[in-house]
Structure 1
């Protein structure tokens, strides 16, 4: 593993807040804000990116109806799953643009870049309230927790990420699964569980056969295990 690629990018999804017209406007504004924030980050202006996101998130949340569960529509399968979950709990729920969660995740990414992993983990946990089965976020939670010293919590998050990879878009499922397995392997090395770590990296190669990271970790295990 030895470091993960944090932010992959945002897609456009459904927004179901308020009336149809206001829902579309709110979703488009959130999407545009995330685009602008990413542009500011690429230009090296992290402060501007944070300001854009904070302002947009506040405005977007002001459009939510009280007492409604809010889920990010990160994939069609996830959206259906969340709506079914809410219905089973007799909760009123809405699915909103995934830019809402991605923007907040970007703030967590900044915390991790600064090396404040515990704070990053807490920020990701808050995003997961609105997209609890997002394999990408769960993988990054595993990264943040484990680098903050919470190896058990990191391993738990990586295993959850593996279990939830099937809710991602079909083309992304192998990557999130492999990433989760590599994360597990890294934590297991740190815990001194060499056999389990080796098995995790070998399994990850079933999903990303050309991964130099996995092969490097397998070489590391071969050279360092007792």
Structure 2
């Protein structure tokens, strides 16, 4: 039986506490996130939540006052600044925009991972969404969000978000990360295409992923699965 669960490296989020936190500096946010990653490595998801909760609240507080987003590198920062300027022009109310430390956006991502590990899937979705929307050029975050829809068997939505993640891979300055994220997105698309009954599209997606990362065992297994389905007379 094929598995639909998260195959992700690290995953995302739940609703943050409603109370406003004291202002949190980037240094404090980075320290909290670092400790949370240690808890994940120790396979202690429950220990992650109290560490990242204040960071998530700080992120949401910043976003209530201005457009606050994260970029992975200078190229993304320049592009994101231009996107923010364009968004501000469309708004009637006076508002500002800022690029913020990546730790703020990583916090909901880590919280989501912990929540999923704790089988709190419904809580994880809003965190996943928050991480993805707060770092709109981050292909990994978008892939993780797609994985949530895949786990929920929302095939078309998962496919659409994986497709977005594939496109965001173009904004990766690190070639290895670009390949990893785009190949993963294609495998996700292929998986959902099988579930939606389009074996031809699925085969193309998995073969395209193998051109990016050759000999990936998961992609090869899915191609064999497609071949077996065809032998049984499924189109």
TM (norm. structure 1) is: 0.83
Whether 1:162 aligns to 2:160 is no
Find runs of 4+ consecutive structure 1 residues off by over 4 angstroms. Answer: 59-62
What are the residue-to-residue correspondences of 1:188-207 with 2, within 5 Å?
188-207=193-212
Indicate how the Cα distance of structure 1 residues 213 and 44 shifts in structure 2: closer, same or farther if over 3 A, else same.
closer
2:211 is paired with a residue of what secondary structure? coil
Indicate how the Cα distance of structure 1 residues 207 and 163 shifts in structure 2: closer, same or farther if over 3 A, else same.
same
Task: Write the deviation string for residues 107-161 of structure 1: whole angstroms up to 9, x where unpaired.
Answer: 1112333444444233211222211232111111111112112111101100000
Query: Paired residue for 1:19?
Result: none
Query: Paired residue for 1:221?
Result: 226
Cα distance in 1 for partners of 2:156, 2:123 equals 17
Number of matched pairs = 210
Whether 1:185 aligns to 2:194 is no
Query: Paired residue for 2:7?
Result: 4
Cα distance in 2 for partners of 1:43, 1:32 equals 17
Indicate how the Cα distance of structure 1 residues 65 and 155 shifts in structure 2: closer, same or farther if over 3 A, else same.
closer
Query: Paired residue for 1:175?
Result: 180
Task: Write the deviation string for residues 78-134 of structure 1: whole angstroms up to 9, x where unpaired.
Answer: 221211011123352111121211111111112333444444233211222211232
Let me know the Cα RMSD of the aligned residues: 2.4
Contact residue 48 and residue 114 of structure 2 kept, 8 A: no
Contact residue 117 and residue 145 of structure 1 kept, 8 A: no
Bigger relative contact order, structure 1 or 2 (CA pairs below 8 A, ≥6 apart): 2
TM (norm. structure 2) is: 0.80
Among 146, 151, 157, the alignment partner of 1:153 is: 157
List runs of 5+ in structure 2 lacking aligned partners.
12-22, 89-94
Contact residue 71 and residue 130 of structure 1 kept, 8 A: yes
